Amino acid sequence: MSLLNSGSNRSLSVLSWNVRGLGDPDKCNVVRDAISSANPTVMCVQESKLHSIDQFKIKTFLPPQLACSYKYIPAVGSRGGIVTAWSQSYWSCSDFTLKNHSLTTLLVSTLSDHSLTVTNVYGPSDHRHSSDFLHELHDLSSNINSPWVIIGDFNLIRSGDEKNNVNVNIPLMNTFNDTINSLGVMEIPLLGRNFTWSNGQEPPILAKLDRALVNLAHTTTFPDTSLSPRAKPTSDHTPLFLSMSTSIPKSSVFRFENAWLHRRNFLQTVLPAWAEARVCSDAAGQLAACLKSAKATTKVWARRFRAPRQIISNCKFIILLLDSFEEERALSFDELQARKTCIDCLAQAIKEKAAYWK
């Protein structure tokens, strides 16, 4: 899909995650950091366990670009809760539909005349209500006239391979597959992983409960679409990142950030570049030369010192790696301890980093 006639490649994306509750402030910091790292244009949260969400609460678990535009379904008791948020730089919401187990938003691009329907689902864990959930999707399908993404925690599997034990409900699997076929949607394969949920026990029970489905209009509009896992620093569900490549113009404007002046090594790095700029005969040319030299040096400085803290990225990498190993074999005691240590270190590092977000 080409949003505009020319431009550089940029990815529209949806991040989906069952976070298993957002009541704890420290956990909200971890969730917000994970979402910020993925930098999605649409965020789908399941099982928020929040009865109400205001502008103060939303900012505790969503980064600024997503905290201004959102819809939600409140939790019932200690269960459920769905949140869909989107970046105003990319999307505006023209309509939405609230159901018992899903939140559907019709998003219109701010960069073109294209639209995208996103259905954020949280299927019931009590399978006595699974039939009602699947009927909800049937009811929604008759009103979809745009590319459609159905994403979230379905709490259902499609085959015995999507669980690491033999305790499966074959009639329910068949019903789920029949529903997918009748909706005319296809599943985007998850790259590099077989399961998205772990009960965290030893040995673990693993299952693929989270997935993304798209309709034909989506596959023709966004032909280059992929689904990949992200590290899970908290929760027992793996975050899913749906990337939909497109082409839109990318600004090449250099923006100076006032915060750089508070860094001790900034001026001592940039001022020599200003002083060493080539000499011009006229004042305007000299100013332009100084600015150009300082700009080049500032870009190099910013790339070096604005990089994410290595402790955070390293912890996420190790968590993701050990989660992958766990799908193939039982983790050793040392590996389990290493994963727990990484999760604890990540939480502490994000808690310290959060002091600079406020």
Per-residue pLDDT of 262-317, as tens digits, reads 667 788 888 898 888 888 888 888 888 888 888 888 888 777 765 455 778 889 99
User: What pLDDT, on a 0 to 100 scale, did the predictor assign at position 303?
Assistant: 72
Measured torsion, CA atoms of residues 335, 337, 340, 342, in degrees rounded to the nearest 10: -70
Q: What is the mean pLDDT of residues 186-210?
A: 94
User: What pLDDT, on a 0 to 100 scale, did the predictor assign at position 248?
Assistant: 46
User: What pLDDT, on a 0 to 100 scale, did the predictor assign at position 289?
Assistant: 87
Express each pLDDT in 124-144 by its tens digit: 999 999 999 999 999 999 889
Q: What is the mean pLDDT of residues 161-174?
A: 94
Residue 70 has pLDDT above 70, yes or no: yes
Residue 61 has pLDDT above 60, yes or no: yes
Q: What is the mean pLDDT of residues 106-123?
A: 91
Q: What is the mean pLDDT of residues 213-218?
A: 94
Express each pLDDT in 330-344 by its tens digit: 999 999 999 999 998
Question: Could you give all domains of the chain from N- to C-terminal order, each with its CATH number?
Answer: 8-248 (3.60.10.10), 258-305 (no CATH)
